[in-house]
């Protein structure tokens, strides 16, 4: 196992572009929301990640890159699968997430996982180093996913695989779509970003576009392109589900973009949404259907 992959301890910062507006947004604007709702975001990642993981075929001894690893949950899981002869490098652009990831790695006693702070599009990755690259809900947020995937392609050994877990269309994700629809009944739609490109949670929803992006990045062979449908928890209580939707989900963007009118309409949006969520309340929270793609492509 190369030391370049598996030296745990402090977080390396090579390649970090501190002035990039997207990276600044993750570090300044999104971090507090992500910390507040980590239990929901991580729970959702786990529900879909548990289905995706066996399709990645992780083996002992492998060298794995976890791109946009966030709190490092999948890095730790993969670290346990590859064992002491293998290693995991978790890469993310948000310092606060990696500090938590590093603390939890230490608590888990895993010596074969380490983290680097950097932009997935420009981070200097060693060529032909990794057997597998995984990204759980990461690639959708890159300004140019193709640029990042070209770097991933270079960093993979010949025959190595990249596994991507991404949200499918909003229409197939009532967990996000219901709140957006309610918000749109009260407020105008914000200026839509392009359906197929540009960062955002649903930018990898379209299968044809995904296949084209992977081909453009050099991945000639796609082994797995499968849909995963699971109910996910969007709040332990109705109140928390409402907070979550208007702070983190697409409904939040509509409310924010509408300015004062958004603030004025918020109580009505929350009241309507609470009624719609009530039938989905189980003993431990509000559960709604969600849908992802797991994609595995090979170099």
Binding site for ligand SAM (CB under 6 A): 26, 42, 45, 68-71, 73, 92-94, 97, 119-121, 136-138, 141-142
CB-nearer residue toward ligand SAM: 14 or 268? 14
Nearest-approach distance from CB 62 to ligand SAM, in angstroms? 18
Nearer to ligand SAM, 205 or 269 (CB): 205
**CB of 33 vs ligand SAM, minimal distance in Å:** 11
Give the shortest CB-217-to-ligand SAM separation in angstroms: 15
In the complex, what is the shortest distance from the CB of residue 197 to ligand SAM, in angstroms, rounded to a whole number? 15
Q: Rounded to whole angstroms, what are the CA distances from 216 to 5, 39, 149, 159, 194?
A: 27, 35, 9, 17, 19
Q: Which residues pair with 298 in a beta bridge?
A: 161, 221
Select 45 or 79, whichever has its Cβ closest to ligand SAM. Answer: 45
Give the residue with the Cβ less far from ligand SAM, 258 or 290.
290
Q: Which is nearer to ligand SAM, 97 or 244 (CB)?
A: 97
Comparison of 70 and 252: residue with beta carbon closer to ligand SAM: 70
Q: 160 with 55: CB under 8 angstroms? A: no
CB 222 within 8 A of CB 55: no
CA distances from 10 to 97, 101, 138, 171 (A): 13, 11, 23, 42
**Shortest distance (Å) from residue 135 CB to ligand SAM:** 7
Nearer to ligand SAM, 138 or 160 (CB): 138
Residue nearest to ligand SAM (CB): 70
* 87 neighbors 64 (Cβ within 8 angstroms): yes
Least distance to ligand SAM, CB of residue 8, Å: 19
β-bridge partners, 224: 296
CB 279 to ligand SAM: min, Å = 28
């Amino acid at each position: 196992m190369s030391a370049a992959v598996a030296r745990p301890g402090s977080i390396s910062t090579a390649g970090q572009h501190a002035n990039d507006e997207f990276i600044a947004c993750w570090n300044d604007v999104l971090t507090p929301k992500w910390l507040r709702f980590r239990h929901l975001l991580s729970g959702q990642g786990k529900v879909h990640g548990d289905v995706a993981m066996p399709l990645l075929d992780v083996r002992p001894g492998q060298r794995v890159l976890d791109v946009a690893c966030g709190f490092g949950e999948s890095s730790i899981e993969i670290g346990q699968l590859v064992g002491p002869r293998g290693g995991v490098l978790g890469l993310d652009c948000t310092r606060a997430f990696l500090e938590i990831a590093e603390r939890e790695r230490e608590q888990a006693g895993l010596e074969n996982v380490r983290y680097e702070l950097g932009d997935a599009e420009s981070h200097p990755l060693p060529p032909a180093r990794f057997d597998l690259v995984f990204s759980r809900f990461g690639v959708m947020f890159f300004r140019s996913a193709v640029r990042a995937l070209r770097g991933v392609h270079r960093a993979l050994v010949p025959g190595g695989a990249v596994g991507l877990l991404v949200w499918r269309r909003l229409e197939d994700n009532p967990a996000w779509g219901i709140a957006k629809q309610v918000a749109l009944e009260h407020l105008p739609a914000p200026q839509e970003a392009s359906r197929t490109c540009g960062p955002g949670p649903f930018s990898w929803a379209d299968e044809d576009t995904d296949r084209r992006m992977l081909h453009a990045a050099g991945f000639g062979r796609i082994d797995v392109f499968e849909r995963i449908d699971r109910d996910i928890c969007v709040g332990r209580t109705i109140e928390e589900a409402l907070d979550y939707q208007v702070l983190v989900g697409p409904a939040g963007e509509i409310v924010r973009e509408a300015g004062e009118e958004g603030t004025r309409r918020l109580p009505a949006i929350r009241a309507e949404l609470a009624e719609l969520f009530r039938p989905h309340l189980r003993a431990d929270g509000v559960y709604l259907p969600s849908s992802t793609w797991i994609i595995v492509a090979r170099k």
